[in-house]
Amino acid sequence: MQTFLLNSGEKLPQVGFGTFNLKGEVCETALLRAFEVGYRLIDTANVYMNERAVGRGIARSGIPREEILVTSKLWPIQFPYKKATRAIDETLSRLGLDYIDLMLLHKPYGDVKGAYHALEEAVENGKVRMIGVSNFIEEDLEKLLPACTHKPVLDQIEISPCFYRKSLCDYLISRNILPQSWCPLGSGDKKLLSDPVVAEAANNHHKTPAQIVLRWHLECGYLAIPGTKSPTHVRENIDIFDFSLTDSEREALSNLPRGKSVFPMKRGIERYAVYFQRMNYNRQT
């Protein structure tokens, strides 16, 4: 597995495994399969309600802890400094780990600076190794960066050829913050995976449409974290290191018509607060 170099000097694998929508036993089994075929970067979040299952999968894998990289995320309602500090400890306890490799602020709402400060303290205390953000756009980062001691290593944002914000990606790269692509396959968007541009490249390289799209991410310099329950897809999504797109194929993928966001951003903390109150992260199985 090839890696991306982060602004902290650390490296991350160029493809990770997303666990949104995977719960309980299904999550554990999918994770074990992912480890078996070579994934080492795992993406979860407090709000996915599967951190216990992710922790069990890691424990059952038998892979040395230092070879696995776990990302989790704090939800905006936990952002006030004190709540964030507690939420980091609760995340560690649900995952059954001594440290989290990468902890992100899930959305740019609420007391972002308070939460970020709690994450920086967790780095000092050895509970978190690296800090990142998610769904932050240029203006959110311009407010946050002057207040940071530990710069965010990445910004996990929606990126796919059918939802491509190139200027935001270029901005991140100019700030030496790695763009990480959530919903890299447009959440399995059939229109994207059957697009003639994608199909032609798939045909040229004897690869599947999903492999073409994932290769596009990594050649653009974006770390993709596709999710899947399928044993075939999990293998396929990591088998993208033995070919390269031509410049014109990459260009054509970058210029596909832009569709809708998979999860359109709702501005405002209130909506997220309501969502949070329906969930009790510590009650997950």
Ligand X SMILES: NC(=O)c1ccc[n+]([C@@H]2O[C@H](COP(=O)([O-])OP(=O)(O)OC[C@H]3O[C@@H](n4cnc5c(N)ncnc54)[C@H](OP(=O)(O)O)[C@@H]3O)[C@@H](O)[C@H]2O)c1
Q: Contact positions toward ligand X, by CB under 6 A? A: 18-20, 43, 134-135, 156, 182-188, 193, 208, 210, 225-230, 233, 236-237, 263
**CA–CA separation, 245 vs 128, rounded Å?**
36
Amino acid at 252: A
Closest CA to 92 of 117, 118, 68, 122: 122
Radius of gyration of the chain (CA): 18
Tell me how far, at minimum, the Cβ of 132 lies from ligand X, in Å: 10
Q: Minimal CB distance to ligand X: which residue?
A: 18
Tell me how far, at minimum, the Cβ of 150 lies from ligand X, in Å: 20
Is 48 known to be catalytic? yes
Tell me how far, at minimum, the Cβ of 124 lies from ligand X, in Å: 25
Nearest residue (CB) to ligand X, 161 versus 184: 184
Nearest residue (CB) to ligand X, 82 versus 191: 191
**CA–CA separation, 45 vs 102, rounded Å?**
11
CA 99, 44, 10, 15 dihedral sign is positive
Tell me how far, at minimum, the Cβ of 230 lies from ligand X, in Å: 4
Residue 7 CB neighbours (<10 A): 15
Q: What's the CA dihedral at 156, 242, 36, 66 to 10 degrees?
A: -60
Among the listed residues 48, 164, 222, 272, the single catalytic one is 48
List all residues 6 or more positions away from 121 whose beta carbon is below 8 Å from its beta carbon: 85
Closest CA to 4 of 150, 120, 102: 102
Helix (H) or strand (E) holding 232, with range, is: helix 231-236
Closest CA to 216 of 167, 177, 181: 181
Tell me how far, at minimum, the Cβ of 146 lies from ligand X, in Å: 24
**CA–CA separation, 114 vs 273, rounded Å?**
17
Nearest residue (CB) to ligand X, 62 versus 116: 116
Nearest residue (CB) to ligand X, 70 versus 122: 70
Nearest residue (CB) to ligand X, 125 versus 263: 263
Catalytic residue numbers read 48
